[in-house]
Amino acid sequence: MSGKKIKIRNSKDFSNIFGLESLIYKKSIKILKHYVLEDKNNKVYRNSKENWKSYFRYLYNEKDLNLDLFLKHAYLVSLSKIILKVILCKNFREINPFKGGIFSWLDEIKELEELIINKSTHINLDIKEDLLTDLYQDMISSSIRHSIGEFYTPKELAEVMIDDSYNLGDKTLDPACGSGIFLIEIIKKILSSSKLSKKNKSLYINKIFGIDINPISVLITKINLLLLTRNFDESNISNNIFFSNSLDINNDISTRIGKIDLIIGNPPWLVYRDLESNKYQVLMKKIAEKNNIKPGAKDISNLEITTLFFYEIPRIFLKNSGKIFFVMTANVLNGSQSQKFRNFNGFSDIIVWDFQDKLFNIKNIALKARYQKRSEKPYPIELRVLDDRFEIIEKSKLVPAYVEGEKIKKLIRKEDKPNLLPVKKSYYYKHVHKGADLFPRALIFVEFERKNNQIIIANRDLDATARSKKPWKKTYFKNVEIESNYIFKAIKGNLLVPFNINGVYRVVLPIDRNYQRISIENLKPKMKTFYNKINKIYIENKKSTTKFQNLWENINYRNKLIKQDPNLFKVVYNEAGTNLKAAVVGKDIIVDYTLLYYQTPNIDECYYLCAILNSQFLNKNLRIIKSSRHFVKRPFKFEIPKYDPLKKFHIKLKDLAHDCEDLVRKNQNKENITSYIKSRLSEIEKLVRNILQ
C-alpha cells in the first residue's frame, strides 16, 4: 500500500473502513473470537462476559446478551482505545465507563492492536461532526437498538430543535444522550459562532452535559466530543458525560451537573412492559406516582418511559423557567396511558411539533415546554406542523376532546371541537367488555380431525397463529388426542367485517360448557396430560416480568373468559383499527381480546347496536376522540340510547342491520361488499344522526 492517506470527512466514511462489512472488522472479530474461545483464556472470558452482562441486564433481553454482541462491544472498545491513543493522545482509562477491567484482556491481543493501528495511521481525519455514530448503528442491529428504546435522531431534526431552543451559553443537558447527536450539534453551533473568542467557546463547551444508561453509548459520545473539541485545550468535555440512569441518578452526579437552562434530547421509546428488570419496573411506578402521572391498572403496561423523563428530569435538573424539548412518540398526545401526563402540571408555554412526513417507524412529535413550579392551566396549546425540510407549514391549537377529573383525554384541534358530539356515557358503557386473552395462540388454537365421538386429534392452527411472535412462533404439539368436550368455538378481530363474522376458530380450554374453570385434577385424562404440557411450556417461556404464574391466569386475566355467557347473544366490534366494524354473533362463541362485546338475551338489541356501530356518523366522531388505533369503550362515550322495542327508529335500525347481514353473507366472496348495502347504510346514517344529535 502507498503512503497516501484515506481522507475521512464524516461518520459514514469511517463506518465504511471499520464497519460491519469492512475487511478490518471481519479480521478483528476472527481474532477476538479465537482468543476468547481458547481453552487457556476460558476463565478470563467467562468472568469478563458475566461482568459485561451486569452492565446490560436492565437494557437487553437475556437472549441478546450473547457472544456476537459481546465481541462487537469488544471491537468497539478496541477501536476506541486506538483512536484515543493514535489520534487524541489520551489514555483509555480517562474515559472508560466500564469498571473492573472488563475489557483489559484486549491489551494482550497485540495482533488486533497492530491491525487497527496500521489502518488508523493511514487515515486523515478531516471531520467536523460525529465520527462513530454510523459505525454504532451499523454494528448494533436496529432491532436490538429499538428493543431498548434507541431511535437515532436525524441530524437535521436535532439542528432545528437546537436552533429553536438553545441560546449560546445555556447550560444544557441531554439525559439520554445515546451517541451524542444533540450534544454534537450544540457544540458545532458554539464552534461556528464568529462572535465568540476561543476562551468563551471553551467556556460554553464545558456547560454541555450528557447522561446515558448504556456504557457503549457513553464511550462513543465521549470520543465523538473529544474529536470535535480536540483543538480546545481548556475544554474537557468527556468529564461532562456520565454513565448513569437519569431516572435513578446519584447525588454526586446531580450535584456536579447542577441546575440547567435547557434539557433537550430523545429519551428511550419504551413502555413499562418492555422493561427487562422487575426492579426497574418498580422504580418507574414510583416515579409515575410521585409526579402524579401513573395510569390506571388497565394502562400501566403501556406507561411511556418518555413521560417519566419529561416530568422527573426537570424536577432534578431544570432551573425555574428553564426549557425542555424532547422527541417523543405521538402516543403521549392521544394514548389513554398518558391521560394524567397531559395535565402538564409544572409546565407552561407548551408547543407541539408535528411532522408531515414520518421520521421513524413509530409516529413521533417533538414537545417543548417551560418548567414552572407554579403554572396555570396549559390549554389551548400551540401546534406547529413541519414539512420534510422542517419548515413550519401550518399552525393550530390543541385542546382536550374532553376531560374526566384528572384525566385529559386525546388532544384534538380546537377547530374540530364544535363538530364533536357531546361526550356523555351511554347506558351500555359499563356493560361492554373486552374479550378473553386467548394467548399464547400457539398453545390453544387448534385444527382437528375426529377420531370418534369423544376424541379429537388436534394440531396447531397455522392460520390463527400466523402472526405469533417469538417465542410463540414454534409448533409445540402435533397429533395430540384430546377429549372433544374441551373444544370451543372462538372468534378474533381478523374474522370481522361490517355486519358479519367470516367463520370461527377452535380453541382448547380447561373449562366446562358454561365457560367455568375445571381444576386440573378434574380434567379428563387426555386433556389433563395436554394441559399440563402446554402449561409447562407457558411457564418456561413467559417473560420474567409477567405477573401470571400459569397459563390459566393469563387466559382468564380479569375473569375475561369466565364472565362470557354462552347462553347469550353478542354484538362485537373491533378493539383497534381505522374504522369501527360490528357484527352480531350467536350463542356459544368465545370472544377474543381483539374484540369487545355486549351480551344480552335479546338478539334484536344486538342488531340495533350493530347498525349504530357500523354507521359513518359514529365513526367520524370516534376518529376525533380515539387514540391512534384503539376504540376500547369509546363508542359508548357517546349517549347511545338503550334499545326500546316501542320506538320505531330503534326497530328500523334493527331491521336494517339484519338486512345488511343477509346481503353481506350472500356476497362475502365478492369485492367491495359495502356496494351491496349502500342504500341501507344511507338509511342507517340518517337514523343514527337523528338518535345521537
Q: What CA dihedral angle connects 114, 119, 121 and 124, to 10 degrees?
A: -160
**pLDDT tens digits, residue range 368-400?**
999 997 778 899 999 999 999 999 999 999 999
CA–CA dist 319, 6 (Å, integer): 46
**pLDDT tens digits, residue range 115-159?**
988 887 767 666 666 788 888 888 876 667 656 667 788 999 999
pLDDT over 70 at 1, yes or no: no
SS3 content of the chain, % helix, strand, coil (to 5): 45, 20, 35
**pLDDT tens digits, residue range 336-373?**
899 999 999 999 999 999 999 888 888 899 999 999 97
Q: Around Cβ 666, how many Cβ atoms within 10 Å?
A: 11
pLDDT at 148: 66
3-state secondary structure of 615: coil
Please give the model's pTM, rounded to 2 decimal places. Answer: 0.80
CA angle 12, 13, 16 (to 5 degrees): 85
Kindly give, in sequence order, each residue whose CB lies less than 8 Å from that of residue 151, ignoring residues fewer than 6 positions away. 145, 266, 269, 327, 360, 362, 364
Structure confidence at residue 246 as a pLDDT band (50, 70, 90): very high
pLDDT at 145: 67
Task: Answer for the pair 398, 411: CB distance below 8 angstroms, yes or no.
Answer: yes
**pLDDT tens digits, residue range 189-200?**
999 999 999 999
Long-range Cβ pairs for the range 437-440 (8 Å, 24+): 437/554, 437/555, 437/556, 437/557, 437/560, 437/561, 437/593, 438/490, 438/492, 438/507, 438/555, 438/561, 438/590, 438/592, 438/593, 439/554, 439/555, 439/593, 440/468, 440/472, 440/538, 440/541
| Size of the chain in residues | 693
Query: For residue 373, what is its C-alpha cell?
Result: 413550579
Better pLDDT: 533 or 141: 533
Structure confidence at residue 532 as a pLDDT band (50, 70, 90): very high
Mean pLDDT of the chain: 92
pLDDT at 142: 66
CA–CA dist 649, 612 (Å, integer): 11
pLDDT above 70 coverage of the chain, percent: 96
pLDDT over 70 at 563, yes or no: yes
Query: For residue 121, what is its C-alpha cell?
Result: 495511521
Task: Answer for the pair 407, 335: CB distance below 8 angstroms, yes or no.
Answer: no
pLDDT at 2: 47
For the chain, give every domain's residue range.
Answer: 6-139, 148-415, 433-692
Q: What is the DSSP string of 356-392?
A: SS--SSS-EEEEEEEE-SS-----SEEEEEE-TTS-E
> What is 148-415's CATH topology?
Rossmann fold (3.40.50)
Query: For residue 32, what is its C-alpha cell?
Result: 477476538
Q: For residue 175, give the nearest of 246, 75, 99 by alpha carbon.
A: 246
pLDDT at 149: 64
CA–CA dist 582, 613 (Å, integer): 6
